[in-house]
């Protein structure tokens, strides 16, 4: 396989310099490194700039409703738990409209990988503040600056029960590829929160700003085996901004504990209905 095998006939229409390009590249490189063919993965997309990726990566996929990508992903995983399931979502889509779904998917430890495009704004609707927006950030919806505290995806995932919690940077596709590979390999709910500059609507947090403040957890000798220490690290923001794997542990997944699919996926089980046409006719 070649990385271009994942490309469609359409070219991305993101703003030049958008962090989505780095995430798009990191995801394709990860699939290539994992040896996953185009028909061996299912990707669910939310609504937002990130969701347009559905048009630019050639795999099985589904474009969900705003904030509803996670229920679709969990449903697919229950139907066929042999297939890797990846969610492409935004900070607004996943943590605003879809915040409740995020908490419960992490609690259940569903075996899915969630990649959040975290740029602190709703870019598709021209830059309103998202749930992850930092205090003081001026946007169309907060012209005097954000006043409430942000949701921190890594901290929320940890408290909800996620078993793989990480953070990457769209300006470092190499690290991002490594994190996505490890997240997909992990059996359980995996988060890759991606710090993503929005070059059009968030001038405060640029590529240069992130590069000045980011440090890699692994370079400091950090080990991702302590949930409390991971939570403390997730709260760091400012002069020091950690990226890498915050926490990883083993716990039975939601799919492991569903007796109906303990032997084979639902897709391989007989439906037990002889007259499917008659059944469907009842609902027409």
Domain housing 162:
3-281
Domain containing residue 85: CATH number: 3.40.50.970
- State pLDDT tens for residues 138-162: 999 999 999 999 999 999 999 999 9
pLDDT level of residue 117 (50, 70, 90 thresholds): very high
Measure the CA–CA gap between 155 and 189, rounded to whole angstroms.
Answer: 14
Q: Tell me what the mean pLDDT of segment 194-216 comes to.
A: 96
- State pLDDT tens for residues 209-264: 999 999 999 999 999 999 999 999 999 998 999 999 999 999 999 999 988 887 78
Q: In the chain, what is the straight-line distance between the N-terminal and C-terminal CA atoms, in Å?
A: 44
pLDDT for residue 206: 96
Say whether pLDDT at 271 is over 80. Answer: no
Tokens 């958008």, residue located: 18
pLDDT level of residue 97 (50, 70, 90 thresholds): very high
pTM of the model: 0.94
Q: If we measure between CA atoms, which residue out of 126, 243, 130 comes closest to residue 194? A: 243
Return the number of other C-beta atoms located less than 10 Å from residue 136's C-beta.
Answer: 11
Our count of domains for the chain comes to: 1
Q: Which residues contact 22 (CB under 8 A, 6 or more apart)?
A: 169, 170, 171, 172, 173, 176, 194, 196
Contact 110, 87 (CB under 8 A): no
């Amino acid at each position: 396989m070649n990385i271009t095998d994942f490309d469609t006939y359409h070219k991305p229409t993101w703003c030049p310099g958008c962090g989505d390009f780095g995430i798009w590249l990191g995801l394709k490189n990860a699939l290539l490194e994992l040896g996953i063919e185009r028909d061996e993965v299912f990707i669910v997309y939310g609504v937002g700039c990130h969701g347009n990726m559905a048009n630019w990566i050639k795999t099985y996929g589904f474009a969900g409703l705003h904030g509803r990508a996670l229920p679709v992903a969990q449903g697919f995983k229950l139907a066929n738990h042999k297939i890797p399931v990846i969610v492409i979502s935004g900070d607004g889509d996943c943590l605003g409209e879809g915040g409740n779904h995020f908490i419960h998917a992490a609690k259940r430890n569903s075996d899915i990988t969630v990649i959040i495009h975290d740029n602190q704004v709703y870019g598709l609707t021209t830059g309103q503040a998202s749930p992850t927006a930092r205090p003081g950030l001026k946007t169309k919806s907060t012209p005097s600056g954000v006043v409430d505290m942000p949701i921190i995806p890594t901290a929320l995932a940890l408290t909800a029960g996620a078993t793989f919690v990480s953070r990457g940077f769209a300006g470092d596709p190499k690290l991002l590829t490594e994190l996505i590979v490890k997240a997909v390999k992990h059996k359980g709910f995996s988060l890759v929160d991606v710090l993503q500059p929005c070059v059009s609507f968030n001038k405060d947090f640029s590529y240069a700003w992130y590069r000045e403040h980011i440090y890699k957890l692994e370079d400091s000798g950090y080990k991702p085996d302590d949930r409390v220490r991971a939570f403390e690290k997730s709260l760091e923001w400012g002069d020091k901004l950690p990226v890498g794997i915050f926490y990883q542990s083993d716990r039975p997944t939601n799919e492991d504990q569903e007796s109906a699919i303990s032997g084979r996926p639902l897709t391989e089980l007989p439906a037990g209905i002889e007259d499917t046409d008659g059944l469907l006719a009842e609902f027409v």
